[in-house]
Amino acid sequence: MTTQNISEFFIGRQSILDREQNLAGFELLFRSSQKNSARIHDDVAATCTVINHAFNELGFQTVLGKHRGFINFSAEMLMDDMVELLPKDQVIIELLETIEINDLVVERCKYLKSRGYKLALDDVAIYSKDLDPLRECIDIVKIDLKATDMGNLANTLLQLKKWPAKLLAEKVDNPEEAKLCLDAGFHLFQGYYFAKPLVITGKRMSHSEIALLQLLGLVMSDAGTDEIEKIFKQNPGLSFNLLRLTNSAAAGSRVKITSLSDAIMILGRRQLQRWLQLLMYTNDRSSFPDPLLQLAATRGKSMELLVKKIPGCTKTMEDQAFMIGIMSLMDTLLGIPLAEIILPLNPPLEIRDALLSRRGPLGEMLAMIELLESYNMDAANELLQDLSPLDIDQVNHAQLEALAWTSSFEN
C-alpha cells in the first residue's frame, strides 16, 4: 500500500485551444492525488483548494504562465469577497451550472465585470431564457457536448451567438466532434481529443520555510525594520533565535538587546540576510549541523573568498557570490524548482542568471565549484581558464578556508 506524502499537493490543468489550435488558456481542476480524476463532495472546498494551490503555493505565474485560468465557482464562492484577491488579468470566473440565476447573482456578476474580471458559464447543455439576465456579463459560454442533445445544438448556438461572448466546446473527445464544433463556429475548444488534464504535483513548504523566504525577500528589497519585525513576531521560534544570535554577537557590549527592532538594527542587514540564508538549511531552525547546510555554506563562502581575488571586487559582489552559493541548493532542500523559489525574491539579474543558467562570471564560478564537488577536474580546470586571474591553488585554499568556517557552526 502506498501513502501520500502530506507535504505534497495536486492540481489538474487542462489546455483550452483556439480555432488555430494555439493555446488560449487552462482550466484548473481539483485533484486529490496523482490519479487524473476527482470525487468532489464540496464545491466550495474544491475551489478553495484549487485557488490555494495555484495562487499561494505554486503561484499563478508558474501554473498559467502568460495565459488565463478558468476556475469553477459555486454561488457561495461567487459571493465571497475572496474573489477580488485573485488577479483579474489571469483568472476567469467559471459559474457552475448549479448556480441559480437570480437577481443577487446577476448583480454580483455585473459588479465583478465592472471590476475587470472575465466570467464564463459552465456546462451549458441547452439555451434557456433564464440565462438572458447574464447576457452582458458573460465573456465565454462553455457548451457541454456530452450533455447536449445534438438535435438542439444548432438552435442553442443560434441564440448564444447573439451574445457578446465567445463559445467554448468542452468535452471534445474525438476528431469527428472537433470538426463538428469547428464547422459550427465555436471559438475555443477543450477536451481529451486535444489534451487530457495534466496533474501538477507540488511540495508544500512549512510555515517556517515560508516565513524565512518572506524575511529574505524583505531584507533583499531593503524593506523597513517594522515590516521585518512583523514577520518575526508571527514566528516566536525565529524571534528567540534572532535575539540569542544578536546577544551572542554583541557579547562584551554593555548594551543588552531585548527588542526585535534593536536586534535587527545591531545585527545589520548584511549579517541578517546571511543568517536567514543559512537558517533555511537547518532541520529544526535552531542548530546548524546539517549535511546540506555544510555543502551550501561551503559553496557560498568559497565563492565569496574567490570573488575577492578578482580586481575591482566590491562588497556587493561578495554578497552576491555568497548568496548564489547558498541559494544553489534550495531546490534540493525544498523539493521545489529553483526558479519558483528565487523569482518572487526579485533578485538582481546577475544572481538570477547565475542560479538559473550558470551565466556570467558568478554563474561560471558556481558551475566550476559544482564540477569540483563531483571530482570532474578536467572540466573544472577548463572553466577556470575563463575566470582569470583565479588559479587552482586559490580555489583549493578558498575551499579549505570555507570548510573551516562552516565547521565552526557545530561548535
**Prediction pTM value:** 0.48
pLDDT at 225 over 60: yes
pLDDT at 34 over 60: no
Cα separation, 162 vs 58, whole angstroms: 39
pLDDT at 41 over 60: no
pLDDT tens per residue across span 154-194: 889 999 999 999 999 998 888 888 889 999 999 999 887 77
pLDDT at 249 over 60: no
Q: What pLDDT was estimated at residue 207?
A: 64
Cα separation, 395 vs 339, whole angstroms: 28
Cα separation, 116 vs 89, whole angstroms: 8
Domain ranges of the chain: 8-203, 206-284, 288-411
C-alpha cell at 128: 434557456
Cα 25 → chain centroid: 18
C-alpha cell at 51: 485557488
265-275 as b/e, with b when 16 or more CB fall inside 10 Å?
ebbebeebbbb
pLDDT tens per residue across span 264-302: 888 888 888 888 887 777 644 444 435 566 778 888 889
336-365 as b/e, with b when 16 or more CB fall inside 10 Å?
bbbebbbeebebeebbbbbbeebebbbbbb
Comparing C-alpha atoms, which of 218, 213, 217, 161 is closest to residue 186? 161
Cα separation, 289 vs 42, whole angstroms: 45
The residue-averaged pLDDT of 52-72 equals 69
- Fold classification of 8-203 is TIM Barrel (3.20.20)
pLDDT at 16 over 70: yes
The residue-averaged pLDDT of 302-322 equals 88
